[in-house]
Structure 1
């Protein structure tokens, strides 16, 4: 088999059909294999990308004193370890309280939307939701996906 550089390959393509079949087929086979490996690597990376669902809930309590906020924060954090599909839970207190602001931010993370739906009906969550519903003035929720 004749080994040709890319320049020689282009130059000899015009000469005749024999060189075309002898040089082009192996070159295309190599390019195809390299491309296939590249695509396989890309697919593997896409499969390895984990998608996570993050749900943020802003909570404004009826009674905004420090003790009530701390108790609500503790009740929310009590779900940690009780719900296996809950990948992470965080409860943050607002450092700039005021009449038009929310008091707490609940951040929860899940592997899928199905897990979020299962969390919403989990007995531990329903117990916490019952307490929070009694002290809650208003709430806002924002759910998004991260990769």
Structure 2
């Protein structure tokens, strides 16, 4: 199993904006066959070093992660994320 973790810091860090973006991410659940698990968490500390949203996804293989990356729904999500991000996201991928 491959775990893909992405952290996002938004331009607009208001609770409404964070929830709207969380919903965009949540919308992928059950719609991308290779996506075996998805979890989205929002920051509760709100410190200067905090990221606003964490996305945790799991796949059976690296090939499935690559298929997810180019899936049309994920491409739409990436466009949304580019419009709301304050800079770039950070990620880590590891075998689990």
Q: Look up the match of 2:68.
A: 119
**How far has the Cα of 1:139 moved from its partner?**
1.2
CA distance in 2: counterparts of 1:105 and 1:142, whole angstroms: 11
Q: Is 2:35 the counterpart of 1:89?
A: no
Task: Point out where structure 2 has 5 or more consecutive residues left out of the alignment.
Answer: none
Q: Look up the match of 1:7.
A: none
More helix by share: 1
**How far has the Cα of 1:101 moved from its partner?**
1.2
Task: Point out where structure 1 has 5 or more consecutive residues left out of the alignment.
Answer: 1-51
TM-score by length of 2: 0.96
Q: Secondary structure at the match of 2:92?
A: strand
Query: What does 1:118-137 correspond to in 2, within 5 Å?
Result: 118-137=67-86
TM-score by length of 1: 0.63
Q: Is 2:89 the counterpart of 1:139?
A: yes
Q: Secondary structure at the match of 2:3?
A: strand
Cα deviations by residue, 1:78-137 (Å, 9 ceiling, x for unpaired) = 001110000011100111012221000000000000000000000000011111110011
Q: Higher relative CO (CA 8 A, sep ≥ 6), structure 1 or 2?
A: 2
Greater Rg by CA: 1
Q: Look up the match of 2:53.
A: 104
CA distance in 2: counterparts of 1:71 and 1:98, whole angstroms: 20
Number of matched residues?
Answer: 95
